[in-house]
Amino acid sequence: MFILIRLVQVFANTAITPVLFFGTIAMILLAVALILFIIFHQRRVMRYQHRIQKLEVKHQKMLLKAAIKLQEEERRRLAADLHDDAGPLLATAKLYLNENFMNLDKTAQLQALFNAKQIIDDTIQLIRNISHSLMPPTLKNFGLSSAVSDFFQKISNSGTLNATSKFHDYKVRLKPERELILFRVIQELVNNILKHSEASFIHLTENDIEDKIVIRLHHDGNGLTQDEFLRYTKEKSGLGLKNIQSRMRVLHGEIFYEKDNSLSLFNVTLEIPREDNDEN
């Protein structure tokens, strides 16, 4: 305002036409308005970015809670299996080998030993099954390609739907812990398709594109779009989708849901960096 008053005084003492005078005033006002607009716009952008950061922090906390909840559920399931199944079996075996065992005749002792052995064998098989659920032996011994093929073969043999897989470029395995996480993601995706999509087939393909492993699941049932997937992961429900996203973050990978160009198939694409990017 002071500048405008000073300019008016200067123009009043000089021979300047009214058109030039008011034109200059208009340009100054326009410049001031532009500066104010930029300032307010920057403040608005900063507030928006701050809001986005808060939402991202909140979303990260939700993913962390989902991952922790998943781990706790897996621990509780493992503890329950050991307590409810292995515990009673071992307690029963102990009954056959109690302090009265030495007082039995030889035939009764042999029968007690046989019964205890059968129970111990059952316990060993139970523990082996629990171990396999934590780390499938096919995955451990032969890698992701064989584990997925075995998993899909079991689905097809059940008669639920036709499931096939094809690994084109998986020549060098990921680290075991990364393979296990990726295998769990594939299992969760397939389970969601089985439960919700009413699909008649699932087909999985794997390719290497530059420094990434790209895995794509196709199915002909009901599926999600990327917007729907992101929306569900921000809601309190949808724990399975949160688990998928949290596991993909551990792999530094990305997941994309889409409907293909034919509008008859749904695709889920996983992009995971190779080992040399694991430490990024």
CATH number of 137-277, picked from 3.40.1410.10, 3.30.1540.20, 3.30.565.10, 1.10.10.10: 3.30.565.10
Report pLDDT digits (tens) over 203-231.
999 999 888 999 999 999 988 888 888 88
Cα distance between residue 33 and residue 45, in whole Å: 18
Q: pLDDT: is 69 or 221 the higher one? A: 221
Q: How far apart are the first and last CA of the chain?
A: 54
**Domain assignments of the chain as residue spans, ordered by start:** 2-56, 75-134, 137-277
Confidence band for 30, pLDDT divided at 50, 70 and 90 = confident
Report pLDDT digits (tens) over 160-201.
889 999 999 898 888 888 898 899 899 889 988 988 888 999
- Tell me, yes or no, if the pTM score tops 0.75: no
Q: Tell me the Cα Rg of the chain.
A: 33
Mean pLDDT computed over 25-32? 77
pLDDT of the residue at 213: 94
Report pLDDT digits (tens) over 97-149.
877 777 888 888 888 888 888 888 888 877 776 766 667 888 888 999 999 99
Residue holding tokens 């002071």? 2
- Residue 212: which residues within 8 A CB-CB, separation 6 or more? 271, 272, 273, 274
The answer to whether the CB of 188 falls within 8 A of the CB of 240 is yes
Count CA atoms closer than 13 A to 197's CA, side-chain side.
26
pLDDT of the residue at 83: 67
Q: Is residue 87 scored above 80 in pLDDT?
A: no
- Give the DSSP letter string of the chain: -HHHHHHHHHHHTTT--HHHHHHHHHHHHHHHHHHHHHHHHHHHHHHHHHHHHHHHHHHHHHHHHHHHHHHHHHHHHHHHHIIIIIHHHHHHHHHHTSTTGGGS-HHHHHHHHHHHHHHHHHHHHHHHHHHHHHS-HHHHHH-HHHHHHHHHHHHHHTTS-EEEEEESS--SPPPHHHHHHHHHHHHHHHHHHHHHT--SEEEEEEEEETTEEEEEEEESS----HHHHHHHHTSSS-HHHHHHHHHHHHTT-EEEEEE-TTSS-EEEEEEEE-GGGTT-
pLDDT of the residue at 196: 86
**Backbone angles phi and psi of 261, in degrees to 5:** -60, -25
Give the CA distances from residue 144 to residues 114, 173, 207, 274, in Å, rounded to whole numbers and listed in that order. 40, 8, 13, 14
